Amino acid sequence: MPTLYHGTVIHSLSLTQLEVLPDALLCVSDREGIIEWLERGVEGSEIQEVAVRKGVILDDGVEVVVLGKGEVLCPGMIDTHTHAPQYPNNGLGQQYQLLEWLDKLTFPREAMFADVEYARRMYDQVVKRNLNAGTTTACYYGSLHDESTRVLADICDAKGQRAFVGKCCMDRNCPPTYTETTESCISSTKSWLSHFDKFTAPAPSSSTSGSSANQPPPLVQPILTPRFAISTTPEVLTFIGKLAHSRSPSIAIQTHLSENPAEVEFTKQLFPDCETYAGVYDKYDLLGPGTILAHCVHLDDKEREVISKRGAGISHCPTSNTHLNSGAADVGKMLRAGIKVGLGTDCSGGYALGILPSLRQAAGVSRFVSWSSAGSTASSPSSSDAQPLSLPQLFHMATLGGASLCRLESRIGNFLPGKEFDALRIKPASPGMWTDDKDTPEEVFEKWLFTGDDRDVADVWVRGRRVGGAA
């Protein structure tokens, strides 16, 4: 039997349109978590009448979830870039820049995940805490260890988090205690990939059967992960490009691009035949609609053009970029170039769990970018081309925009009928969130985005199944 949800629903329809529905009635199928229908403007006294009209009889088998005053139902958050082995390091390293941070803090921590039982304990907490923070979908970098990264995928599946899980490929310019040969990198990547054959999608309903293109993908999927160009040889980059395109649709790819000036210069030295950093990935056929490029702080116009042309997406990680002194990415230029953009926590380069801190930092960084453009000031932005990100843009990046990076925009990201119910029930509870009876739904929601935390996330659903929350 289906479940009905009644109350204030807020979701993104586009970069410029945030839809607020104070009295919405939403119907979710019990088997696949598919949103059957969404009715607007339904008073509480009309729930039964509307349900019957839609063919739903309110008996003991139908659950009706009624949101209280001041509560909001919104789509789950999508973290398009994070490192599962690095969460124990969150909060460390602000004195370093990227390459030194990797050597002194990050690689030693990731090397510890050779111990599978240690990995199991850490990853169990990573997935659990991310779900409770409202992250319903995560794009995880694992370590270079095949077995431990399999464990991460299994935990995501068991706990019900939608996830893309990647084993890092790192066969050069890494510490002797944390590296792999080209041969072992290729063989372990093939082995790791075979593990995902065990994950299956839910059985199709009559409404989705008949077209393989409409079948839902497994909850947990593989994502090929060349850590960045510095740590991967041309042989491995060639292998990954061919492997990605050996399936249809292609296997997703995630990597870093233009995070730090020293990284950019080192990459150009390693690949002197490529004019740009993005050109390296393009040369090896790694740019496409299924590619997620983290950071992209120091792009030039040619790079934005090729990223847009190939249909790749960018994960904006502002908390990490400021914490590691990497710079301020100009998201406005990315969006104007037609590039799809999502948000990433990049833990532990970013120091905070969950997407809310990244959304807030993205707002602040966009203001700094607009102020600094052409010598403008806070009271007089330079031009219409350098405006701070709006709230609809920020929430789009956290939800529907992130879904587009994962090639899941037709399945998740908002509450349009036919999509899967990945959702959060926001119930103000944290001490930093001040609400009163005079607040409009829009005001409650904005307050949560900028002052709330995981204590306000009462329930978390993925594919219609409750998987977390503070309630």
Q: How far is CA 48 from CA 36, 42, 370, 394, 455, in A?
A: 16, 10, 50, 36, 32
Phi, psi of 267 (to 5 degrees): -60, -40
8 Å CB contact between 411 and 420: yes
What is the chain's alpha carbon radius of gyration, rounded to the nearest angstrom? 22
User: What is the distance between the alpha carbons of residues 439 and 432, in angstroms, rounded to a whole number?
Assistant: 16
Which among 336, 144, 324, 241 has a CA at the least distance from the CA of 314? 336
Instruction: Indicate the range of 278-292, 305-319, 362-376, 393-407 predicted with least confidence.
Output: 362-376
Q: How far is CA 379 from CA 333, 376, 387, in A?
A: 21, 8, 12
Q: With the C-alpha atoms ordered 156, 83, 128, 78, is the resulting torsion angle positive or negative?
A: negative
**Residues 459, 465, 467, 470: what is their CA dihedral angle, to the nearest 10 degrees?**
20
Note the pLDDT of residue 203.
Answer: 65
Q: Is the pLDDT of residue 32 over 90?
A: no
Question: Stretch 314-323: mean pLDDT, rounded?
Answer: 97
Instruction: Indicate the range of 57-66, 196-205, 210-219, 435-444 predicted with least confidence.
Output: 210-219
Neighbours of 316 (CB within 10 A): 31
User: What is the distance between the alpha carbons of residues 343 and 363, in angstroms, rounded to a whole number?
Assistant: 11
For residue 41, with 0-12 CB atoms within 10 Å meaning exposed, 13-18 middle and 19 or more buried, which class applies? Answer: exposed
CA 256 remoteness from chain centre: 15
Q: Is the pLDDT of residue 260 over 50?
A: yes
Secondary structure letter of residue 14 according to DSSP: S
Question: Stretch 231-256: mean pLDDT, rounded?
Answer: 97
Determine which helix (DSSP H) or strand (DSSP E) holds 313, and give its type and residue range. strand 313-316
Note the pLDDT of residue 214.
Answer: 66
Which among 296, 311, 395 has a CA at the least distance from the CA of 355? 395
Question: Stretch 90-106: mean pLDDT, rounded?
Answer: 95
Note the pLDDT of residue 384.
Answer: 46
Which among 164, 172, 219, 223 has a CA at the least distance from the CA of 193? 223
Q: With the C-alpha atoms ordered 471, 153, 420, 51, is the resulting torsion angle positive or negative?
A: negative
Phi, psi of 87 (to 5 degrees): -55, -35
User: What is the distance between the alpha carbons of residues 199 and 222, in angstroms, rounded to a whole number?
Assistant: 10
Q: With the C-alpha atoms ordered 366, 295, 397, 331, is the resulting torsion angle positive or negative?
A: positive
- The strand pairing partners of 9, in sequence order, are 21, 73
pLDDT band at 59 (very low <50, low <70, confident <90, very high): confident
Note the pLDDT of residue 8.
Answer: 98
Q: How far apart are the first and last CA of the chain?
A: 23
**Residues 98, 309, 80, 385: what is their CA dihedral angle, to the nearest 10 degrees?**
80
Q: Degrees (nearest 5) of the Cα angle 455, 12, 360? A: 50
Give residue-wise pLDDT tens across range 116-162.
Answer: 999 999 999 999 999 999 999 999 999 999 999 999 999 999 999 99
Average pLDDT, the chain: 94
pTM for this one?
0.96
